[in-house]
Each structure stands twice: as C-alpha cells, then as structure tokens.
Amino acid sequence: MKYKHYQVWGVALFLWAGLGLTPVGLAQAPTVESLLQKAVERGKKGDFEAAIFELNQAIKLAPTNATAITLRGIAYTNLGNAKQALEDFTKAIQLAPKAAAPYGYRGIVRRQLQDLPGALGDVNEAIKIDGKNPGFYSFRGALHADGGDRAKAISDFQQAAKLFGERGDTEGVKEMQEFIAILQKEPVAPAPAPQKPGTQAAPLKPTAPK
C-alpha cells in the first residue's frame, strides 16, 4: 500500500503554518531567511545535497534555528542518511518542543528503520500538538496497518479523510477512502520483526505536501 502524504519535501509554508513549526529569529536575520528559501527551492527540484549546503550556511548563522535544522533533516532523509536525519529532528525537537513537524518527520525515519513503536510515539506527540493535520492521521494509519491493527488503521484513515474534507482537499479524501476500502477487503499482514536499525534509510520520494 502506498502512503504518500507523509513522504514529502516540506516547503517552508507547510512546515511553519501547516505543521506549526515557528521560524526562529527570521525577522532579525533576513540572510538566514534567504538561505532557507534557497534550500526549499533546491529541495523541490530534488537537489538535496545543494539544499543541505544552503541549510548548513543558515545554521552557521543561526545555530538554534529549529526550522533550518528540521529542513536539513528532511533533506538527509531524502538522501537516505537516517542517522543524520534522526539527529537533526531530535535537535529540532529540543529547540522547539511545541512544534509538530520534527516529531512527524522523525517518525517517518523511524518507520523506515522498522522502529514502529518509536514512529508511533512520535506521531502521537505530533497529533497532541497539531490534531487538525490530516497527514499525521494518515501516517499513523499506515503504522497501524504495518502492525496488523486493521481497526485502528481504518479509524485513522477515516479521521484523515474527514480533516482533508474540511480543507476541501478532495484528492486527499479519495486516497484515504481507497486505503479504507483496501483494508476492509483484505487482511493486514503483520509487520516483520524489527531488525537492527542500519545507518541508512530508503530515500523518500519528494511529493507535494498536503
């Protein structure tokens, strides 16, 4: 089953407004802002190494900028560098504990490493912070499906569909309904036993955020 809503290169607007991540000190540091904008453009084009270069410069200027660190974690995720991505998301959480985005993205990496309990813990925290984001429920539904809990998976996809509907996102609603239909027709295979996490994760395919 393909779950695209949590596989994203998060553009700045999505992170700041959609997921509640507050920019740190951008008004006082326009140079940092311009570097973040360049990094986002590089990421949208799939050039994540160039995005990291821009973000490293921004972080040198503003070491406590949680937005820059989160974006760099996303770039590392897309490059398959799970170890560095986890470090960045964890650092961003320490700097901005009330931001939902770093929890959600860290959950993505943990799922790739087959750490389902860790991924579930992260997305639960994200939902506590931003319970109106359908992407979080879609992701948690995928985790429940991974774990073989069809009832919880369906419940989360239904909630995601409702929230997408409130946003007028008919495509999102349709996709959640498709997931629900699949789960209702076929049993969910239990997820494989977690393996020892490696240092690399399969790169995420950048898609438009919901």
Picking from 118, 153, 125, the residue whose alpha carbon sits closest to that of residue 139 is 153
Instruction: State pTM to two decimals.
Output: 0.76
- pLDDT digits 0-9 by tens, 162-193: 999 999 999 999 999 999 999 998 755 554 44
Domains defined for the chain, CATH in brackets: 1-102 (1.25.40.10)
Q: At what angle do helices 150-166 and 134-146 cross, to 10 degrees?
A: 160
Angle at 17 between CA 73 and CA 60, to 5 degrees: 40
Longest dimension (CA), the chain: 55
Ramachandran sector of residue 186 (left: φ over 0; alpha: ψ -120 to 50; beta: rest)? beta
- pLDDT digits 0-9 by tens, 68-126: 999 999 999 999 999 999 999 999 999 999 999 999 999 999 999 999 999 999 999 99
Residue 205's H or E segment, with its range, is none
